Amino acid sequence: MSEERFWTTDEYASTAKFAVQDGAMTMRQAGRIFRLDPAPPKAEDINDYIVSAVRENDLTYFTYFLHHYEPRLNKRVYRFLLTEGIDRYEPLRFLDYKLSVVLVMLECLQNYAPNKGADFLTYAHYFIGNALLDCRRQEEAGSFKSLDEYKAARGIAWLYNNSGKSEKEVIAQYADEQSCTEETAAEYLTLARQNRSRVPFYCTMQDDDGEETGEDVTRDDSWNYADILWNGIRADAVRAAFDKLDYMEQDFIEMRNAICMTCGRVGSWDERASFEKIATDYEYTTTGGAEKAYKKIVDKLTAHLVDAGVLGVVELKQIERNKKIAAAAYQYKAAHRFANDDDEWGEIRFDFSNGTAETVKLADGDFCKSKVFAEVAIRRILQIPFKELPKKLTIPCKLEMERMRYGV
């Protein structure tokens, strides 16, 4: 990177050869504003464009990067607007958010060091999120002194919405978690009430005399994303595991599961992206390729949760199958933070004609008295029709729940 000079945002903006008249832009135009014709030279990875831009101090490579990144950028802005309840079909607003993200990426480019190991989008992910939030901050009904103040107000609002605790308890918890005074926490909660442009998350019920009772009547339980997506696994562990994924992996998880891990909003299951759409957006040659990539990402996320000690995994491999008598045998392995790659596999034999199973050998790491992981494997396999038995299967289970259930 040249120490003398780098591109300024004004210089970059001057290279954008388009003119927009009020009301004249369409969503198609807003969504293709960075597309180049003819298309730029292909690279094996779009991060290669960024590396070239940094090493050669040439903005042309950044325009190549934007050409390929724009569909994903559109998706991220679209999902953010959807989460915030904003009209996502307003072209000029959509473009404003996109340009804010591009400008912050240019700022990140000045400090990006390719030799540190992280790709550019992983490095810029946090700053991109801040850029979107800052755009939202400027549209709020009230005003905030800074982005940090705005994020603090959103944070305590989210905590209040999802904790089920009283206002006083939420203020005390937030103050303790953020190492601030309760007076400061109370100010943030007040700001959140006054300045949210969406439907207020808190209001009070009035009694017959018109006096406020202080009773909360508008808690939004639908935002409890830990319970909805992860079936009760601790949200902090999921957040930490998610943060260990790179940008593309995080995007896959959010798209496929209709969830925003930034704010915790869970969308309708109908809103989740199909593998066909993911394949198109990420330029996979087949839908199967996108599905295979997604499954690898899920396995990686699962491994992080196993390492955190809140999730167990049972791995199964079919070693025998007899169609005549509807029987099968599987090797199984208990994967959790007390297990390792050298542990021996156990064996379970299934009789589908009678709906029974026998644990022939316990896997290392299984609990010898209760056979926790063997029981998990048996329950799952017996639910599958014999004709559909998989050759390999990975079954996640809530490790702490299984321990309590079996008293180990």
Express each pLDDT in 238-281 by its tens digit: 777 888 888 788 888 888 887 777 666 666 666 778 888 878 87
pLDDT at 282: 73
pLDDT in tens, 86-118: 766 688 888 889 999 999 999 999 989 888 878
Domain limits at 46? 9-139
Evaluate whether 66 touches 15 at the Cβ level (below 8 Å). no
Residue at 194 is within a domain: no
pLDDT at 211: 37
pLDDT in tens, 388-406: 898 988 887 765 444 434 3
pLDDT at 200: 34
- Write down which residue in 272, 290, 306 finishes a domain: 306
pLDDT at 165: 80
Q: How many domains does the chain contain in total?
A: 3
Residue at 269 is within a domain: yes
Q: Are residues 85 and 64 in the same domain?
A: yes
pLDDT at 368: 62
Q: Are residues 323 and 295 in the same domain?
A: no
pLDDT at 89: 67
- Write down which residue in 139, 168, 197 finishes a domain: 139
* Element housing 17 (H / E): none
Q: Are residues 22 and 112 in the same domain?
A: yes
Q: Are residues 273 and 368 in the same domain?
A: no
Residue at 93 is within a domain: yes
φ, ψ of residue 226 in degrees (nearest 5): -65, -45
Q: How far is CA 284 from CA 49, 133, 289, 294, in A?
A: 19, 31, 6, 12
Mean pLDDT, 10 residues at a time, over the chain (408 residues)? 44 45 70 89 90 91 93 88 72 89 93 86 89 83 73 81 80 86 85 54 34 34 36 62 82 80 65 80 78 84 77 86 92 66 81 90 73 85 89 73 41
Residue at 200 is within a domain: no
Q: Are residues 278 and 333 in the same domain?
A: no
Q: Are residues 288 and 352 in the same domain?
A: no
Q: Are residues 54 and 127 in the same domain?
A: yes
Residue at 202 is within a domain: no
Q: Are residues 58 and 98 in the same domain?
A: yes
pLDDT at 42: 85
- Write down which residue in 86, 107, 139 finishes a domain: 139
Comparing CA positions, the residue from 172, 304, 319, 332 lying closest to residue 244 is: 304
pLDDT in tens, 298-323: 888 888 877 777 677 888 999 999 98
What end-to-end distance do the CA atoms of the chain give, in Å? 57
Sequence-distant contacts of 85-92: CB under 8 A, at least 24 apart: 85/198, 86/136, 86/139, 89/27, 91/25, 91/26, 91/27, 91/29, 91/30, 92/20, 92/22, 92/25, 92/30
pLDDT at 192: 75
Q: Are residues 20 and 126 in the same domain?
A: yes
Q: 191: which residues sit within 8 A by CB, 6+ positions away?
A: 142, 144, 149, 153
Q: Are residues 52 and 92 in the same domain?
A: yes
Residue at 164 is within a domain: no
CA-derived radius of gyration, the chain: 26
pLDDT at 398: 64
